[in-house]
Amino acid sequence: MFTNKDIKLGICPIGWTNDDMWDLGDENTFQQCISEMRLAGFTGCEIGHKYPSDVKELKEALDLRGMTVASKWFSSFLGTKPFEETFEEFKKEIEYLCYAGATAINISEQSYSIQGNQDLSIFENKARFTDAEFAQMCDGLNKLAEYAKSNGIRACFHHHMGTCVQTLEETERMLNNTSDDLLLCYDTGHWTFSEVDPMAILNEFPNRIGHVHLKNMRKDVRDQAIKESWSFLKSVRNGAFTVPGDPEGCVDFEPVLRKLDEIGYTGWIMVEAEQDPAKANPFKYAKMAYEYITDLMAK
């Protein structure tokens, strides 16, 4: 399927150790996590809370396994705080990522976010900005993207459940009000959770895709989460997400990969699936995903 060979496959550590709920996977170590990632076939990863804080130590451990850091999550508060507060932290992360050999930073706007609240519904209690706050966020995003680009890093905005940029409409508005330097961390799972066709944004903004998260979803769990007004974390605990290749998932990845090839996407394609590792063995599911994606890309 892929004519463009400048594609790399990575996986996120959240299937081994959950960054929002530390009890999920607390028994799994950093060394186990990255070793099983590489054994499954992946050559890149994102950063989890079990990773060493010393970037030199991290890079050495990854180098030993022929792996690298692909990107890292960054929480911004551009809509509600002075830009300088976010920028100072952003510069530190860019320096970290440059040393680690990463290509992207995943910016998630966390002003008013309820994604980490165990009780609030991500639909009924979803965060919302005023027009002025939205404009302030977009202005700040432009500045972050310009700085990241000047350092060789893609600034990729991560649309996310429970935040002020969750829906297709909000994402379109954000992209239409920011420069082309700001790219998107495209996530099939979050589109599916918000009942949006993952192809929509690919068709509308093909030139703004800077990083890819392939996340599958169990439709029955999603439907129950919507019907019963679950929080994001409750949805995760109850198995809303899974990996590509899991027959329990409902996301059709073939047209997504075909479109990414068609638009000439280059960079990392990451498997990301928040699951309880006690219920979904991380290594088993990582292998499942790698074999499925590579088979699909070879068609």
Ordered per-residue pLDDT tens for the chain, 299 residues:
666 678 999 999 999 999 999 999 999 999 999 999 999 999 999 999 999 999 999 999 999 999 999 999 999 999 999 999 999 999 999 999 999 999 999 999 999 999 999 999 999 998 899 999 999 999 999 999 999 999 999 999 999 999 999 999 999 999 999 999 999 999 999 999 999 999 999 999 999 999 999 999 999 999 999 999 999 999 999 999 999 999 999 999 999 999 999 999 999 999 999 999 999 999 999 999 999 999 999 88
Residues 159, 167: Cα–Cα separation, whole Å: 8
